[in-house]
Amino acid sequence: MAQPLILASSSPYRRALLRQLQLPFQYAAPLTDEETKPGENAGTRALRLAEEKARALACTYPQALIIGADQVAECSGHILHKPGSRERAIAQLGTCAGKRATFHTGLSVLDSASGRQSTCLETYTVYFRPLSKAQIERYVELEKPYDCAGAFKVEGLGITLFEKLEGTDINTLVGLPLIRLTDLLCEHGMDPLAPPLKTPGAAS
């Protein structure tokens, strides 16, 4: 019997991305301490939290493949948090206008039965246009990206904010790089393109 697949996240954006692989899965919010440790850079923090989020659900799901993911975005040395409000979204986009921002997404797959854990870090860079305050306010009014790191939704109108994008997988910006996730799942024996298992006694 195939192991159940668990997404260690309550993010609706990550759930929507994982559904693209057409694998049945459950999800649960992990309890982890997301404070930055002394001397920890953005990439290291994203990796650590991805691993910790997967391990946080190991006792609850002891025979599963558990996906942990975490994203840390930075621009000019400053961490880009989820703005949470219109005012902070406008301020954050104003700070990023005309600059480059890098998104570091840690990804981890844990086999809770064996303890084997595979982890990787994906980065993606966006180059913001030199936006006017009126453009920024109009974008925020239309899309309300208050729960998104960087204050934009690249899968929506947010694409108009950029001059160019650099990276392997645009899903990295949303917080779940599906190309690398597919690699990690295959390493653990769960291939999204594998033929379905035949039911014992079924006609061939």
Catalytic residues: 70
Half-sphere exposure of 179 (CA within 13 A, CB side): 11
d(CA 82, CA 200): 49
Burial class (CB in 10 A: 0-12, 13-18, 19+), 114: exposed
Beta bridge partners of 128: 162
Asked if residues 23 and 192 have their Cβ atoms less than 8 Å apart, the reply is yes
Q: Which two tokens stand for residue 24?
A: 């049945």
* DSSP reduced 3-state for 31: coil
